[in-house]
Amino acid sequence: MGQQQLLLIILGVIIVGIAVAVGITMFQDNAISANKDAVVNDLVQLAAKAQQHYRKPVSLGGGGNSYTGIDSAGSLVSSAFWNNDNGKYFVSTTGTTSIVLRGIGRSQNADGTYPEIFMTVTPTGNNLDVWLNTLTAIP
């Protein structure tokens, strides 16, 4: 009877250990996914600011149907926003009819990389491209 109880205790410890390992993995995956979602949300807010700049007349400090004049994410919003707890944001490309915003998340993937997300903003909408680049450090 003693060997059977010892075997059940060992089996219980193994099952609990596996459950803890699976739980930790799920938590890490959820944290990475939540960070990517937060970066996308911040990029959508920056895109809205860029579209406001596009539509605002030059006499009121806007672009007058152009994205020119937006040289950094800091020119769209306060500097506290473009480098926040979710990630770091940049303006990659500026043109007259479109602008490309770049966001790099702060959650590190299991392989040591950071999610890099690009959003192309046009006067009529946004196009989101998610890149999981091998960025080993946030610039």
Residue range 81-133, pLDDT digits in tens: 688 899 998 888 777 888 888 899 888 877 888 888 888 888 887 776 666 56
At residue 115, what are phi and psi to the nearest 5 degrees? Answer: -70, 135
The pair of three-digit structure tokens given for residue 98, joined into one six-digit string? 């479109």
pLDDT at 41: 92
What's the Cα-to-Cα distance from 66 to each of 19, 22, 52, 60, rounded to whole Å? Answer: 55, 50, 10, 14
Q: Which pLDDT does position 58 carry in this prediction?
A: 87
Tell me what pLDDT residue 94 has. 75
Q: What does the domain layout of the chain look like in residue ranges?
A: 2-135
Look up the pTM and report it: 0.74
Task: Give percent helix, percent strand, percent coil of the chain, each to the nearest 5.
Answer: 45, 25, 30
> What is the residue whose two structure tokens read 């998340």?
105
